A and B are shown apart, each in its own frame.
Chain A
Amino acid sequence: SQQGEEDPQALSIQEGENATMNCSYKTSINNLQWYRQNSGRGLVHLILIRSNEREKHSGRLRVTLDTSKKSSSLLITASRAADTASYFCATDPQGGKLIFGQGTELSVKP
């Protein structure tokens, strides 16, 4: 079964708009994390939300977690061209290894 599936697969917006990416998963989790990856580069950890948390903020990022629906969303407010990247959710179902989704490719046009 697939764990950590994001949608949309690709998202194109104008600078200044908000970007929302969603992630769904199948099994129970300890936490869910969001990562960013610029093309061909490393993974940058953005935010971790624990299974007993519902919402978390970090700067222009807002993450929500709904464990009853097994879904999470990442909102980037007031997007900038520099936010252009791929965004992945990753779940930690058993403690330890992370299971990554396919990612959302975000393009922010200036």
Chain B
Amino acid sequence: EPEVTQTPSHQVTQMGQEVILRCVPISNHLYFYWYRQILGQKVEFLVSFYNNEISEKSEIFDDQFSVERPDGSNFTLKIRSTKLEDSAMYFCASDYSSATGHFGPGTRLTVT
């Protein structure tokens, strides 16, 4: 069964640095999402992406965040200048309809 994949599995970065988290959604999917989970807390929606544009974003998704689907297969989340509070698990998800069901294994981001 096809799966959503994410790289890297763990990223350590210094405060103020830019990071790019990568996701490869399932190939026939049309809707793409990023979520994050701060340690010990619930999973929070960040952004949804459809038809090559952002369809919805949360308050967390401020100007420091951006998403891109650069080549028709990858889906990336960029954080321009990381803060300590960006440390979290970041999950990519995709689906062929707008009901999210397929999550990737996550990237653990640690900002020091």
Check if A99 sits within 8 Å of B45, measured CB to CB.
yes
How many residues of chain B are within 8 Å of chain A by beta carbon?
24
CB-CB under 8 A from A59, the residues of chain B are none
| Chain B binding surface SS class | strand
Check if B91 sits within 8 Å of A33, measured CB to CB.
no
CB-CB under 8 A from B75, the residues of chain A are none
Which chain A residues numbered 18 to 59 have a C-beta less than 8 Å away from chain B? 30-31, 33, 35, 40-45, 48
Q: Which residues of A contact B (CB under 8 A)?
A: 30-31, 33, 35, 40-45, 48, 88, 90, 92, 95-103
Could you name 20 residue pairs across A and B whose Cβ atoms are closer than 8 Å? A30-B99, A35-B103, A40-B89, A40-B108, A41-B106, A42-B104, A42-B106, A43-B103, A48-B99, A90-B100, A95-B99, A96-B56, A96-B99, A97-B33, A97-B100, A98-B35, A100-B43, A100-B44, A101-B42, A102-B42
Q: Which residues of B contact A (CB under 8 A)?
A: 31, 33, 35, 41-45, 48, 55-56, 58, 89, 91, 98-106, 108
